[in-house]
Amino acid sequence: MDRLMVSVSGVRGVVGSTLTADIARQFGCAFGTMLGAGKSVVIGRDSRQSGPEIQQAITDGLLACGVNVTSLGIASTPGVALMTSKLSADGGVIVTASHNPIQYNGIKFLQPTGTGLTAEDAMKLKGVWEAGEFAIVADEARGAESQDETAEEKHIADVLAICDVPAIASKRFKVVLDSINGAGCIASRDLMEQLGCELIHLNSEPTGQFAHNPEPVEENLTELCQAVRDHGAAVGFAQDADADRLAIVDENGRFIGEEYTLALAAAFVLSKRKGDIATNLSTSRMVDDLAAAAGCKVVRTPTGEANVISGMLEGGCILAGEGGGGLIEPKVVPVRDSFTAMAYVLQYLAETGISLSGLVDKIPAYVMLKTKQPCPIGAIEKIIDATRQAFSYQLEAKLNDSDGLRIDFDDAWVSVRASNTEPIMRIMAEAPNAEDAEALVAELTEIAATATGTENE
């Protein structure tokens, strides 16, 4: 299943196999051709050891097309997005494979606002790359390269500007943070220091040598959970490699799940100001319950950060995010941002005086199951068709095919879709209890196996 993934979420592949320096240079040329000579681009990377080579190749392609490039070095995804806007660049590039395993790397392209490319522009970029017709300029018209090392400082300053720093600092919270030796190591340390927290920092150097799989899910965070218990911490945080996603562990060392990152932030923000929230179709119903209680609504979009941001902007939402640990606070930067998420959770704890487990208990609970399995090319269409037929007879089922296929019931839902970043499909379900969620996942898994002829494998 090793293939280069090119989608609205950018480019991802296995380094040295489907993603090489030559391919990265081609995408640099393609983006430079789209923007035009004389334009400017900000570029940064996560800490993966393949990052410098991939970044330099993209930079070479941009320079060859007459585009000026400002390099941020190792920087978080929200940090690169923020600097793209602050430096008034015409575009941005982030070299990261986010939560994917270490053998992967990727390229994400940004608009001048710091948000990801629109679906239309992403397809245009793909078309330019596939055609291979690049606007290479003469040597004397090549772009210029410069450096800027202020991304972390400026990002943290903007996060602190929307928080009650004295209120948080007065509590002297003990925090355990797992930065996975990723891009968020240094800025996270600075944030915790300025918020007056006592930090126990795991995997705290940006070496790119991940201590465990970088996806911040329960099976990868046993060390964090134990450290919270050992140190008697108020909270445990886990970032992914580019520090745009955040998972949370409560004071008992219990992994509460990535879905609670957006839910807790939404509960905090809605306690102070009212407004709608944008999220994708794969995010928990907890957000809907919180919004309804505040007299607000949730704008649902297809999966993909760009889609959520579009929904946020079109709906005039005050907050957005994704259930995979991604909070988007447009007052700081219009992309997923683990730093703002950490600050909001800490302020929520400080202002309420309630433990994290207590705050979690105040939110209506569901059981969500997320599964993934290989998806042969072209198989997802068969699976969706078979699923639609299987559920079409159920009068209470509401079908939504804007992102794969999601089937909603009165108190539960199940969905199947192809991943934008990996050659897999995701089957997910949410229900009031584990038994019902497991039954929905099992039913859809069986439908998928029958549709692809793999039921006996």
In the chain, pLDDT over 90 holds for what percent of residues? Answer: 84
369: β partners? 429
Give the pLDDT band of residue 139 (cuts 50, 70, 90). Answer: very high
Give the pLDDT band of residue 197 (cuts 50, 70, 90). Answer: very high
Over residues 65-80, the mean pLDDT reads: 98
Q: What does the alpha-carbon distance between residue 187 and residue 155 come to, in Å, rounded to a whole number? A: 8
Over residues 196-213, the mean pLDDT reads: 96
| Domain annotation covers residue 389 | yes
Give the pLDDT band of residue 457 (cuts 50, 70, 90). Answer: low
Catalytic annotation, pick one of 9, 50, 76, 98: 98
Residues 413, 321 share a domain: no
3 state SS of 205:
coil
Over residues 73-97, the mean pLDDT reads: 97
Q: Which long-range contacts (CB under 8 A, 24 or more apart) does 49-52 make?
A: 49/207, 49/208, 49/209, 50/15, 50/16, 50/105, 51/95, 51/96, 51/105, 51/208
Average pLDDT value for the chain: 94
DSSP 224-258: HHHHHHHHT-SEEEEE-TTS--EEEE-TTS-B--T
3 state SS of 65:
coil
Torsion region of 203: left, alpha or beta (phi above 0 gives left; psi -120 to 50 gives alpha): left
Q: What does the alpha-carbon distance between residue 111 and residue 41 come to, in Å, rounded to a whole number? A: 10
pLDDT at 454: 67
pLDDT at 374: 82
pLDDT at 1: 45
Residues 195, 231 share a domain: yes
Residues 383, 309 share a domain: no
Residues 55, 24 share a domain: yes
pLDDT digits (tens, 9 = 90+) for 119-137: 899 999 999 999 999 999 9
Kindly report the pTM of this predicted structure.
0.91
Q: Over 90: is that where the pLDDT of 377 sits? A: no
Residues 418, 374 share a domain: yes
| Domain annotation covers residue 284 | yes
Residues 213, 303 share a domain: yes
Q: What does the alpha-carbon distance between residue 250 and residue 191 come to, in Å, rounded to a whole number? A: 20
Give the pLDDT band of residue 455 (cuts 50, 70, 90). Answer: low
Q: Over 60: is that where the pLDDT of 420 sits? A: yes
pLDDT digits (tens, 9 = 90+) for 6-29: 988 899 999 999 999 999 999 999
For residue 107, give the CATH number of its domain: 3.40.120.10
Q: What does the alpha-carbon distance between residue 237 and residue 346 come to, in Å, rounded to a whole number? A: 11
- Regarding predicted confidence, which is higher, 143 or 396? 143
Lowest-confidence segment of 143-147, 277-281, 400-404 by average pLDDT? 400-404
For residue 404, give the CATH number of its domain: 3.30.310.50
Q: Which domain holds residue 44?
A: 5-149
Q: Over 80: is that where the pLDDT of 456 sits? A: no
**Count of the separate structural domains present in the chain:** 3
Residues 292, 397 share a domain: no
pLDDT at 421: 66
Q: What tokens does 419 get?
A: 């991943």
For residue 402, indicate whether it is catalytic. Answer: no
Residues 351, 382 share a domain: no
Q: H/E/C letters for each residue in 368-418?
A: EEEEEEECCCCHHHHHHHHHHHHHCCCCCCEEECCCCEEEECCCCEEEEEE
Q: Please work out, in degrees rounded to the nearest 5, the angle formed at the alpha carbon of residue 193 by the alpha carbons of 190 and 194.
A: 85
Q: Over 60: is that where the pLDDT of 272 sits? A: yes
pLDDT at 394: 81
Q: What tokens does 257 get?
A: 């799940």
pLDDT at 451: 87
Q: Over 70: is that where the pLDDT of 418 sits? A: yes
In the chain, pLDDT over 70 holds for what percent of residues? Answer: 98
pLDDT digits (tens, 9 = 90+) for 428-454: 999 999 999 999 999 999 999 898 776
Residues 418, 348 share a domain: no
